[in-house]
């Protein structure tokens, strides 16, 4: 149980275009999902907290107009990187809050590798 998927797994786009990444909880409902960015050989940096039916909460320094988050259902959150630039190239990972042993914990998706040319 507690499987989280992401789509696409890999995307290459031209500078200036927008890219949408989907995060799905496959076998459980997640009212809360999280979006992280991970640069090569670095840690996971929390970008925003996505709550179903409400606006996302962004971490300091993350531009909400550039990284649009929509959590329209209990199993789906999307991250849209708008007007992508080469510096946005990174590994984007989502997680969904689910139950483990009666307590909530984060389950991670497989990540999406974004390359902006």
Residues in touch with another protein (CB under 8 A): 4, 32, 34, 42-46, 49, 91, 93, 97, 100, 103-111, 113
Taking the complex as a whole, how short is the minimal distance between the CB of residue 16 and another protein, in angstroms? Answer: 27
Distance in Å from the first CA to the final CA of the chain: 37
Taking the complex as a whole, how short is the minimal distance between the CB of residue 103 and another protein, in angstroms? Answer: 8
Which of 83/104 has CB closer to another protein?
Answer: 104
- The span from the CA of 92 to the CA of 82, in Å, is 14
**DSSP three-state, residue 88:** helix
Which of 17/42 has CB closer to another protein?
Answer: 42
Which of 49/80 has CB closer to another protein?
Answer: 49
**Nearest partner of 98 among 47, 27, 50, 49, judged by Cα:** 27
Which of 32/82 has CB closer to another protein?
Answer: 32
Taking the complex as a whole, how short is the minimal distance between the CB of residue 76 and another protein, in angstroms? Answer: 18
Taking the complex as a whole, how short is the minimal distance between the CB of residue 83 and another protein, in angstroms? Answer: 27
* Helical spans, DSSP H, in the chain: none
């Amino acid at each position: 149980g507690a499987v989280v998927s992401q789509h696409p797994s890999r995307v290459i786009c031209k500078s200036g275009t927008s890219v949408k990444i989907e995060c799905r909880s496959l076998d459980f409902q997640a009212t809360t999902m999280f979006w992280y960015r991970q640069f090569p050989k670095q840690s996971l940096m929390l970008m925003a907290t996505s709550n179903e039916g409400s606006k996302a909460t962004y971490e300091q320094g993350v531009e909400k107009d550039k990284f649009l988050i929509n959590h329209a259902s209990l199993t789906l959150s999307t991250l849209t990187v708008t007007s992508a630039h080469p510096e946005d190239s990174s590994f984007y990972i989502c997680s969904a809050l689910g139950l483990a042993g009666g307590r909530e914990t984060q389950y991670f998706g497989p990540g999406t590798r974004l390359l902006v040319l």
